[in-house]
Amino acid sequence: MTRVPITVTINGTEYTAEAPPRRTLVDFIRYDLGLTGTKEACSVGVCGICTVEMDGVIVSSCILLAVQAQGAQITTIEGVADGDTLHPLQEAFMNYGGFQCGICTPGQIMASRALLQQNPDPTEDEIKNWMMGNLCRCTGYYKIIESIQKAGEMIRLGA
């Protein structure tokens, strides 16, 4: 099996590891680099759990190869908080019930973080449209929408 060196910067830290070209980005992040905050579920780019930010946009890390991320700047759930200070979305997901069984939460936070970065005051329809494809099998979508709205308020108030 050919292994190739892959270098990425994740949450500000540069990592290099060898992996076969067939390694998906989510497996590389989890198993080669040990950052297990990012989850995998559907494995076909549909459920949103494996959402990470890569070079400024969110992508499904399960349908990207790690070699496609060569040299990329990546943010995962581990890089969302500022030290011990949680991101407003993390606070809101805990306080308003967006955090339920927890499996989909890393993807929900990575996806909604990207939304709030470009629009800190989204309407409910804008949230639904953007978050389409971030599935929650607890089906607690209203709590997730409410959490995103509350996080938007916190961001607008400079929290």
**102: contact with another protein by CB under 8 A:** no
- Span interacting with another protein, options 28-36, 52-60, 87-95, 149-157, rule CB under 8 A: 52-60
Q: Cα dihedral sign for 148, 153, 156, 159?
A: negative
Axis crossing angle, helix 141-156 with helix 124-131, rounded to the nearest 10: 120
**93: contact with another protein by CB under 8 A:** no
| Member of 16, 36, 70, 139 binding another protein (CB under 8 A) | 70
**51: contact with another protein by CB under 8 A:** yes
**68: contact with another protein by CB under 8 A:** yes
DSSP 19: E
- 57 backbone dihedrals φ, ψ, rounded to 5°: -130, 155
Q: Cα dihedral sign for 106, 129, 73, 117?
A: negative
- Which residues are near another protein by CB under 8 A? 1-2, 4, 20-22, 24, 43-46, 48, 51, 57-60, 63-65, 67-68, 70, 111, 114, 130, 132-134
